[in-house]
Structure formats: structure tokens, C-alpha cells
């Protein structure tokens, strides 16, 4: 790693607060999309989102300064981080740095490898699915010929998409809605595949261990 210890310490201290900030951002966005009647709340949420966006940008700039790279090089080596600053709804994708920071604090991992992959990747998928449902719903609401009329429809659509079931009873029809949906498929299906794969490996490991323990056949 060509990141010096000051950059590492900054990451160590800010990753968790920024993750919490991204949850607040998502909640503000959700309120803005869903609380149609409450104009005051929606304005408040807009301000909260802008403030958090400024915080994310400031963090990005501080990291660039601490890293000591030229800007374009920093952008290309921190590709995911750049995407996440532009679109804070995608911040749940930063599970690996978040995992890293949490593990460093805890010292010893308390869960088995599979349980850790399952829990982090599930959380990430859940948040991404929620953000995707919100973003697609915002595009689809009121579009002519839309089948997605309530937010419940959007959640149902997101679940059927991420699991690759894809009923097709509810689908986005607007150009932007479909673009967001393709991005959600690209990120989410990979993450959910990691969950399924880990679960499958864990089950197989459990069944192997079970047959080894048979040596001393119980008390």
C-alpha cells in the first residue's frame, strides 16, 4: 500500500462516522421521495443532503491531500471512492474498507469467515436495494404507463430483481429508471451471489465437520 500512516489513521477515524452519515443521507433521501405532502420536511431533507454531500467531498479532498498523489492519479486509483462521493447512495458498496476498520478496532474477528461475508454482503445488498428502489421509484412515479405506482411496488420489484427471479409484473419504463436498474443489477447480483456462495460453503463445511466429529461418538 502506498498510503502513508496519516492517511491510514484518517481512514481509521472517519470510515464509521461517514458510513453513519451515508445512512442519514439515505434516510433524508427517502423522506424527500416518500413524504410527498410535507413540503417543509422535504426542504429540510434537501439541506441535510447538501450538507452531507459537502462533508463527503471534504473527506475526499482530505484523503487526496494526505495521500500525496496528483489529483487525476488519486481519482483513478480510488475509483470506487470517487463514484461513492458523486453518488452517496452507493456508499454501502464500501463494505471492504468498513469491514477493515471495524476488524482493526475489535482486534479478533468474532464471527467465522462465512458469517462475516454473509453479514457484510447482506447489509450492503439490503442498503443498495433500498437505495435502488427509492431512486427508481422517484423516476417512475407519475411516468406514463408505469406499473410501479407505490413504494411497496418498488420494494417488491427490487427484491425480485436482486434475487434474479425477475417476475416482470412490475418493471421500470422510463429511460433513467432502467439505467438505474441496470446499475443496481450489476452491483447487487454480485453481492447477493457472494451471500449465497458463502452460505453454501458454510453449509458444506458444517456437514464435513459433523462427519469428522464422529470419532468419539458422544457421551
Q: Which residues bind its own copies (CB under 8 A)?
A: 5, 8-9, 12, 96, 99-100, 103-104, 107-109, 113, 116-117, 120-121, 152, 156, 159-161, 163-169, 171, 175, 178, 181-182, 185-186, 189-190, 193-200, 203-204, 206-208, 210-211, 214, 217-219
Between 53 and 199, name the residue whose CB sits nearer to its own copies: 199
Quote the least distance from Cβ 74 to its own copies, whole Å.
18
Q: Which is nearer to its own copies, 37 or 212 (CB)?
A: 212
Question: How near is the Cβ of 12 to its own copies at its closest, in Å?
Answer: 7
Q: Looking at beta carbons only, is 40 or 214 nearer to its own copies?
A: 214
- In a 13 Å sphere around the CA of 206, the CA atoms on its Cβ side amount to 10
**CA–CA distances in Å: residue 113 to residues 66, 100, 197, 205, 213:** 32, 13, 12, 11, 21
Longest dimension (CA), the chain: 69
By C-beta, is 88 or 188 nearer to its own copies?
188
Instruction: Give the burial string for 80-114 (b: 16+ CB within 10 Å, else e).
Output: ebeebbeebbbbbbbbeebbebeeeeeeeeeeeeb
Cell 439541506 -> residue: 47
C-alpha 150/C-alpha 13 separation (Å) is 40
Residue pair 29/134 in contact by the 8 Å Cβ criterion = yes
Minimum distance between the CB of residue 140 and its own copies, rounded to whole angstroms? 13
Mapped onto helix, strand or coil, the DSSP state of residue 217 is: coil
- Min separation Cβ 18 and its own copies, Å: 19
CB-nearer residue toward its own copies: 28 or 92: 92
| Nearest distance from C-beta of residue 52 to its own copies, angstroms | 27
User: d(Cα 97, Cα 161) in Å, to the nearest integer?
Assistant: 27
Looking at the Cβ atoms of 17 and 152, the one nearer to its own copies is 152
> Which sign, positive or negative, has the C-alpha torsion 149, 180, 192, 121?
negative
Taking the complex as a whole, the smallest distance from the CB of residue 43 to its own copies amounts, in Å, to 30
User: What are the cell numbers at 49?
Assistant: 443532503
Amino acid at each position: 500500500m502506498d498510503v502513508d500512516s496519516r492517511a491510514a489513521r484518517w481512514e481509521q477515524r472517519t470510515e464509521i462516522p461517514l458510513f453513519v452519515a451515508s445512512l442519514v443521507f439515505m434516510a433524508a433521501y427517502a423522506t424527500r421521495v416518500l413524504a410527498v405532502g410535507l413540503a417543509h420536511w422535504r426542504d429540510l431533507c434537501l439541506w441535510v443532503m447538501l450538507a452531507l454531500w459537502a462533508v463527503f467531498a471534504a473527506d475526499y479532498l482530505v484523503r487526496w491531500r494526505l495521500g500525496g498523489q496528483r489529483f487525476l492519479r488519486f481519482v483513478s486509483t480510488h475509483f470506487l471512492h470517487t463514484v461513492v462521493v458523486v453518488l452517496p447512495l452507493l456508499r454501502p458498496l464500501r463494505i471492504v474498507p468498513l469491514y477493515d476498520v471495524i476488524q482493526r478496532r475489535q482486534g479478533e474477528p468474532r464471527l467465522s469467515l462465512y458469517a462475516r461475508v454473509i453479514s457484510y454482503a447482506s447489509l450492503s445488498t439490503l442498503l443498495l436495494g433500498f437505495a435502488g428502489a427509492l431512486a427508481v421509484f422517484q423516476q417512475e412515479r407519475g411516468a406514463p404507463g408505469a406499473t410501479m405506482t407505490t413504494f411497496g411496488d418498488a420494494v417488491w420489484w427490487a427484491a425480485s430483481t436482486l434475487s434474479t427471479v425477475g417476475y416482470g409484473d412490475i418493471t421500470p419504463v422510463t429511460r433513467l429508471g432502467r439505467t438505474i436498474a441496470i446499475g443496481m443489477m450489476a452491483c447487487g447480483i454480485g453481492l447477493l451471489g457472494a451471500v449465497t456462495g458463502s452460505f453454501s460453503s458454510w453449509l458444506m463445511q458444517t456437514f464435513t465437520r459433523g462427519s469428522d466429529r464422529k470419532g468419539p461418538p458422544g457421551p
